[in-house]
Amino acid sequence: MKLTVVGAGGIRMPLFVRSLIRRIKKGADIATLAMTDIRPERLEIMGRLARYLIEQAELPLRVEIETDLDRALPGSDAVVTTIRPGFEDGRIADELICARAGSLGQETVGAAGFAMAARSIVDLTAIAARARALAPQAMILNFTNPSGICTQALHDAGFHQVIGICDSADNVKEYVAISRGVEPERIRLRVFGLNHLSATMQVWIDDRDVTRELMADDEFIDKWFGIFGRDLVRRLGAFPNEYLFYYLLPERARQSVLAEKETRGQKVKRITDRFFAGAKDPSLANQPARLLELHAACMADRSNSYMEYAWKDTDAKQRPDHSLAEGEGYAGVALDVLEAKWRRPTELAISHPNRGAIPWLSDSDVIEVTCRVDAAGVTPLAPPAIPDRLAPLVRQVKIFETLTVLAVRHRNRQTAKWALATHPLIGDAAVIDRIYEEFARAHPETIGAYR
């Protein structure tokens, strides 16, 4: 099988390769890894590290490095899309525009999520069209943010072989595995919501439902859900994805983000630049082992800075050591989907059209939900009773996602403003007008070109 990664010059690529190596050693039938990116210098660095890791593992995995997408795609059985149009500077511009208006400026949530979608959907649609032409048999696994909106846009455009993946959708599985000392493979979940707006409503270890047991466990809630507090988690009646912090505690989240001296994007850019600057250092350029040590240090800094503004106000004063629970990240989710499709059926939390799982949503609405994945395809599994506080949020934000996709497809200014107006975390009409006009100036080729 040939696996192609689009956006392979990203800093997380060595983690993907390590996950791939582990899976191949366990029997995954992947013979070729194709890596493509529009940034030749970064792609060369990541290609060099990939080949080193594969050589060290003594695997006969072929690696193809291509800056030309049309040369990378032919023969692909699966295509993973992990691109960032506008790169880190685009993200930073979005965050700062929101901050100046006093609005939440989180990469995938609220107004900044709209701006990112406006860039990502355009490029992803072009990539999907090339994949259809050159590798029509390929499944597309989309990790490009905002993953749920982008996956919706691709399905609406007729690309139905697309599955949205996220490395936070089923984090509860890892939390339970660590807390109870069991293998993640023994744990099943029922997840429901939208990408970056979901919760885990049911947990089994083997065939035993442990949901109530976990909900009553103060230590478990304090360790993994401390930013919410015990009372909020128990009132919700589900284990929230960390991104629900922005929705369930919106004013605290807004104030915490605005009080930061650096935006998250600025931190990520600083850490990323540090790694790629080191990769150009002659003393490291030809020493891949040392370069991987630098990479590990940079990724640890990146991980530790994630949502630190939310955790510093908790009793623990710091985020728990999520390196214990990061598993294989998005690579693991992508490879889980492929293995379920071709080798071993399983249940996974992914972004996929609803198809009747939730009666009050359209069948075509892309949701983040536990699905059974097997050779026959993907089947969303209806969750148990949905928490009263989650259902209206899903309804409202799904309208925002739908309008965002329409605005991008038709390049329509008014629809874009309607989308922003429907989101619960952006602000009033004056804030929306200000943010929109600044987005249009910052991104003239996308939002700035809307009529």
pLDDT tens for 315-358 read: 655 566 655 444 577 888 999 999 999 889 999 999 999 999 99
**For the residues 383-398, what does the mean pLDDT come to?**
95
Q: How many angstroms separate the CA atoms of 401 and 113, rounded?
A: 10
**For the residues 399-414, what does the mean pLDDT come to?**
98
Tens digit of pLDDT for each residue in 158-192?
Answer: 999 999 999 899 999 999 999 999 999 999 999 99
* pLDDT at res. 329: 76
Provide CB contacts within 8 A for 104, sequence distance 6+.
98, 110, 111, 112, 246, 250, 253, 254, 257, 425, 426
Tens digit of pLDDT for each residue in 196-216?
Answer: 999 999 999 999 999 999 999
* pLDDT at res. 142: 98
**Computed over its alpha carbons, how large is the radius of gyration of the chain?**
21
* pTM, entire model: 0.96
Share of the chain above pLDDT 90, in %: 89
* pLDDT at res. 304: 87
Residue 153 has pLDDT above 50, yes or no: yes
Residue 314 has pLDDT above 90, yes or no: no
Tens digit of pLDDT for each residue in 270-280?
Answer: 999 999 999 99
User: Roughly what angle, to the nearest 10 degrees, separates helices 13-25 and 40-57?
Assistant: 30
2-164 is classed CATH 3.30.930.10:
no
Distance linking the first and last C-alpha atoms of the chain: 44
* pLDDT at res. 324: 46
Residue 286 has pLDDT above 90, yes or no: no
Mean residue pLDDT across the chain:
95
* pLDDT at res. 104: 94
Residue 6 has pLDDT above 60, yes or no: yes
* pLDDT at res. 328: 72
Alpha helices (runs of H) in 165-263, residue ranges in sequence order: 171-180, 211-215, 218-225, 230-236, 245-248, 250-258
Residue 161: other Cβ atoms inside 10 A: 18
Alpha helices (runs of H) in 38-109, residue ranges in sequence order: 40-57, 69-72, 87-100
* pLDDT at res. 325: 44
Q: Are 275 and 13 a contacting pair, CB within 8 Å?
A: no
* pLDDT at res. 253: 96
* pLDDT at res. 318: 53
Residue 117 has pLDDT above 90, yes or no: yes
